[in-house]
Amino acid sequence: MGSRFEITVVSTNEELGHINIEEAIAEITRIEKLISAWNPDSETSLINKNAGIKPVKVSLELFNLIERAKQLSNLTDGAFDISYSSLDKVWRFDGSMKDIPTKEQIKNSISKIGHEKIILDTKAQTVFLKQKGMKISFGAMGKGYAADKAKSLLVSKQVIAGIINAGGDLTTWGTKASGEKWLIGIANPLNKERIFSWLPIVESSVATSGNYEKFVTFKGKRYSHIIDPRTGYPTIGINSVSIFAKDAELCDALATAVYVMGTETGLSLINQLANTEVIIVDDKNKMFKSDGVLFETNP
Ligand code: ADP
Ligand code: MG
């Protein structure tokens, strides 16, 4: 999925622990095959190929994932949108961009974006992208989804505790073998080497979106890989967003969404959602947190 997964399990038996890890890897690989927009044989690619042509019958799993993605678009006023993907050709983060895109290119691409143009038919279990050239992809929620699924697989195999870490987006269950809570360190924005504080992660997940990994720089300005689907331009103002909630998929998607929405709107959205918290570091390295974040400075 374009990022490094780390799997930790607590087990009374080392051999069994390794078997469980292999099972988790197989599950993540299975999901990648289903949702990857790069793999031409995936269900997702089939949907994209038939944009503007016809509805495509898909597995219930992918159908439900797309349904949840659309709900997230509604919740975030379109800040999160899996059809942002038609901009992939315009904003490229593989080193092949020579200049920022023209206004014309942006306009052309955003005309093919819109979660309301992803048509779901529950009865027929089909997905139809209404417009030719439309594309969906799961860069902003797939890792979280895969982590959740790997976790539930292991839970179903009676693995008592563990961590599925999908490139920094992670979900945990149970406790360390010692009985202590899993803790996540929050880096001090002014000194990345130092942990600012520790938060216990009990039966829950965390995901971070930031501008420090994938970006391009033109004339000294940094353009991140998180793009406002409504304008077609990378959003500015925030360095990182970490979301804490039960499921990694929700954390992953909301981290991207809040990054796009900005500090004020993002905070107010998260404060309205039960059991969901956020820590935002803005581009002046100022830290903001939702009402429920309580720091434990001495773990
Ligand atoms: P990371 O992959 O670094 O963990 P995110 O979870 O925030 O970061 O996902 C960013 C990826 O999501 C981008 O690389 C792109 O593929 C996709 N994306 C960018 N902007 C949006 C958006 N507004 N809505 C949905 N997906 C997006
Ligand atoms: Mg995300």
Instruction: Give the CATH number, domain containing residue 93.
Output: 1.10.3980.10
* pLDDT tens figures, 255-272: 999 999 999 999 999 999
- Output the pLDDT for position 75: 98
Q: Which ligand is nearest to the CA of 240?
A: 1
Is the C-beta atom of 81 inside 6 A of ligand 1? yes
Under 8 Å between Cβ of 97 and 105: no
By most ligand atoms within 8 Å of CB, the mutation choice from 5, 226, 230, 238 for ligand 1 is 226
Residue 112 falls inside a structural domain: yes
For residue 48, give every residue at least 6 positions away whose Cβ sits within 8 Å of its Cβ, in sequence order, or none.
37, 129, 134, 135, 136
Within a domain: 27: no
**Runs of H (alpha helix) within 50-207:** 60-75, 103-110, 142-156
Nearest ligand to the C-alpha atom of residue 169: 1
Ligand that lies nearest to the alpha carbon of residue 139, given by its number in the listed order:
1
Same domain membership, residue 274 and residue 195: yes
Distance from Cα 206 to the centre of ligand 2, integer Å: 10
- The string of pLDDT tens digits covering residues 272-296 is 999 999 999 999 999 999 999 876 5
**Which residues constitute the domain of residue 88?**
43-129
* Most ligand 1 atoms within 8 A of CB, residue of 38, 73, 74, 84 to mutate: 84
Q: Closest Cα to residue 267, out of 237, 246, 296?
A: 237
Query: What pLDDT, on the 0 to 100 scale, is given for residue 61?
Result: 98
Residue 216 inside a domain? The answer is yes
* Residue after which a domain boundary falls, among 68, 95, 129: 129
In the listed set 94, 129, 164, which residue is the last one of a domain according to the structure?
A: 129
- Nearest-CA residue for ligand 1 atom 8 is 209
Confidence of residue 192 (pLDDT cuts 50, 70, 90): confident
Nearest CA to ligand 1 atom 5: 140
CA-based end-to-end distance of the chain: 33
Q: Give the distance from CA 137 to its chain's centroid.
A: 11
Q: CB of 137 within 8 A of CB of 229?
A: no
78-132 pLDDT tens trace: 999 999 999 988 999 888 898 899 999 999 999 999 999 999 999 999 999 999 9
Tell me the backbone φ, ψ of residue 91, rounded to 5 degrees: -100, 115
| C-beta 225 within 6 A of ligand 1 | yes
On the question of pLDDT at 298 being above 80, the answer is no
What tokens does 90 get? 């315009």
Query: Are 196 and 122 contained in the same domain?
Result: no
Q: What's the mean pLDDT when you consider all of the chain?
A: 94
Taking the centre of ligand 1 as the mean of its atom positions, its distance from the CA of residue 165, in whole angstroms, is 17
Instruction: Name the strand (E) or helix (H) holding 47.
Output: helix 43-49
Number of compact structural domains in the chain? 2
Query: Of 69, 95, 129, which closes a domain?
Result: 129
Say which CATH number the domain at 221 has: 3.10.520.10
Is ligand 1 within 6 A of the CB of residue 260?
Answer: yes
How large is the average pLDDT for residues 32-54?
97
**Which residues, at least 6 apart from 292, have a Cβ–Cβ distance to it below 8 Å?**
277
